[in-house]
Structure 1
Amino acid sequence: MIEQEHAQAIAQLNDQHRARPEVGWVMTPGVQALGARAMVQAVAAVVAFSDFSEDNDPHGERDFGAFEIGGQRLFWKIDYYDQSLTLASPEPADPAVTRRVLTLMLAEEY
């Protein structure tokens, strides 16, 4: 698979993962401390996120984003693990060998 096609395959899988907050998402203690209402707003912001650019997505994989909720700067990041969640995925473009984890955090927790 050529590099651009590889990145596009990963990006598509990342978009699908972002659309399903009930599967493989982690919220840091800082985000949880914002309260239920802010957490709901933050999840909605991640699901709707589309502000990808060369600055925040240099590899075209759509695996990172930043936004603000109630004056707080938040980041989200998708990491790729093997099926046992113990090592890095051998191939992030292959869902058969990859488990994605999206971490939603306050910017200062990064």
Structure 2
Amino acid sequence: MISTATETRLEAVAQLNDRCRQGFDRTAKIVMTRACLGALSNGTLASEAIAQAHVLQALRRYTFPADCPERDHGQFELSGETIHFRIDYYDASLEWGSEDPADASVTRRVLTLMLREDL
């Protein structure tokens, strides 16, 4: 049985992760590996921009399964590719891991979009 304090903390982390994934967290970074971008575009600047837009749209529409309470990782299909993502928690200077991912004032989120081979 999970304690109420743990449930509250998990929900706080999940809500902050949702803000990151939706693009509402100004301190968060969203990055995509070159392999992921290359698999979804033909290498031109225009096709890369379109690929990025499609990936972000799919990411924002992603529905998490019940077994992912922090909503910090997942995968989805796009243009025949399986795109994986995860959110990592860092301190404000992006040097070390965050001491408290539930506290937005001390945590910076980095969401990485990648292919399986990038894992």
User: What's the TM-score once normalised by structure 2's chain length?
Assistant: 0.82
Aligned residues: percent identity? 40
Residue pair 1:27, 1:104 contacting (<8 A) in 2 also: yes
Residue among 1, 4, 7 paired with 1:4: 7
Structure 1 Cα separation of the partners of residues 88 and 115 of structure 2: 17
1:14-25 equivalences under 5 Å are 14-20=17-23, 23-25=28-30
Task: Point out where structure 1 has 5 or more consecutive residues left out of the alignment.
Answer: none
Residue among 99, 103, 107 paired with 2:112: 103
Structure 2 Cα separation of the partners of residues 105 and 98 of structure 1: 22
Structure 1 Cα separation of the partners of residues 88 and 15 of structure 2: 14
Segments of 4+ moved more than 4 angstroms:
none
Matched pairs, number = 106
- RMSD, aligned CA: 1.7
Task: Point out where structure 2 has 5 or more consecutive residues left out of the alignment.
Answer: 42-47
Structure 1 Cα separation of the partners of residues 66 and 118 of structure 2: 23
Residue among 89, 94, 99 paired with 2:98: 89
Residue pair 2:64, 2:71 contacting (<8 A) in 1 also: no
